[in-house]
Amino acid sequence: MNVKTIAVIGAGSMGHQIAMLSALAGYKTNLQDLKNEALEKAKLDLTKIMDKWVAKEKITIEAKDQAFENLFFTTDIREAAGQADLVIEAVVEKLEVKREVFAELDQIVPSHTVLATNSSTIVSSLIADATSRPDKVCNMHFFFPPLVMDCVEVVKGEHTSDQTAQLAMEICSQLNRTAVLLQKEISGFIANRILFAIQKEAMALYEGGYANYKDIDKITRKALSHPIGPFELMDLSGIDVGYYVMQQQYAETGDPKDKPSKTITEKVEAGELGRKTGKGFYEYGTKVNR
C-alpha cells in the first residue's frame, strides 16, 4: 500500500510527537484532538522542539518548514481521518474510550486504511472487534518521548494480517524508528513488562520503608547504570499514565498485585502527576513543558 496520509488521534504527550515524526518523514499528517487547547499546546511545543533541532543543526530550517507544511491540526475526526491510509490512535489509556474511537474511525476511513493503537498495555484484540476490519488493526507502541526514543513495538494479534504488520513495520522505518515485531499478544508487551516489574519492586521497597524514593533512584542509577531512577521516570512519563495502565492490567488479570499502589493512587488523587504538573515524587518549581 502506498501510504500518503497519516492521521494521529489524540494530541497529548505522545500524539503530538508521533505526528511530528510523520510530518518530518514527508507524510501529510493530520493531528486531531477533542480539545483545541491540546492542539494549541502541541503546536507551541513542536515549534520549540523543532527550533532547538535547527539551532543544534539536527535538521535544516527548510526541513523544519516542510514538516510544518505537512502537518495539520484539527478537532474534527472526519477531517483528520477521512483520507488517511494509516491512523495511529494516542488517546487516553481507557479501553472503552479507545473502542469508541476505533468504532468511529471504522465508519470514517477508507476500506484499505490500517488502524493502529499506541496503547502502552492494551492488546489490539481487545479493540479490533469494535471495527469491521480486525485484520487491519494492530499495536504500534512508541516510547516517550517519541521524537527522542528510537523504538516501536509492533504487535501482531491473531486477527492482524501479515500485510498490516508489515505495513506498520515499514512505516516505522520511514519514521526513522527501530521497530520490533511481536508475533503474539501479551498485555504490556516487552519493554513495559520489564519496566513495570522494576517500578513495582521499587514502590514495594519504598512503601515498606526500606529506603526513600530518592535513594532508590540513586541506587538504580549508580549500581544498575540506569540513566534515570524508577521514581524519576514515573514523574517524567506521568504518574496518571502509569495509574491507568495498572488499572487496565488489574481489570484484565484481577490480580491485586496489579492494582495501582497506595502511593500512586494518592498522587493521582492529589493531582501530583509528575513533571507536567510541576510536582510528582519530586518538585519541579513551575509547571514543566511536558
Ligand X SMILES: NC(=O)c1ccc[n+]([C@@H]2O[C@H](COP(=O)([O-])OP(=O)(O)OC[C@H]3O[C@@H](n4cnc5c(N)ncnc54)[C@H](O)[C@@H]3O)[C@@H](O)[C@H]2O)c1
> From the CB of 228, what's the least distance to ligand X, in Å?
13
141 is catalytic: yes
Instruction: Report the residue number, 34 or 61, with the smaller CB distance to ligand X.
Output: 34
Instruction: Give residue for cell 527550533.
Output: 51
Question: How far is residue 89's CA from residue 228's CA, in Å, rounded to a whole number?
Answer: 28
> From the CB of 210, what's the least distance to ligand X, in Å?
27
Q: Which residue out of 120, 124, 139, 237 is catalytically annotated? A: 120
> From the CB of 289, what's the least distance to ligand X, in Å?
13
CA angle 37, 39, 42 (to 5 degrees): 110
- Does the CA dihedral 83-87-93-94 come out positive or negative? positive
Query: What is the contact surface with ligand X in residues (CB under 6 A)?
Result: 9-15, 32-35, 38, 90-93, 97, 101, 118-120, 142-144, 237-238, 241
CB 161 within 8 A of CB 136: yes
Please give the residue whose beta carbon sits closest to ligand X in the complex: 12
153 is catalytic: yes
Name 40's Cβ contacts closer than 8 Å, sequence gap at least 6.
none
Q: Which residue out of 13, 70, 119, 141 is catalytically annotated? A: 141
The grid coordinates listed for 158 are 491473531
The grid coordinates listed for 168 are 506498520
Q: Which residue out of 119, 139, 192, 237 is catalytically annotated? A: 192
Instruction: Report the residue number, 38 or 155, with the smaller CB distance to ligand X.
Output: 38
Q: Which residue out of 93, 153, 185, 272 is catalytically annotated? A: 153
Query: So which residues are the catalytic ones?
Result: 120, 141, 153, 192
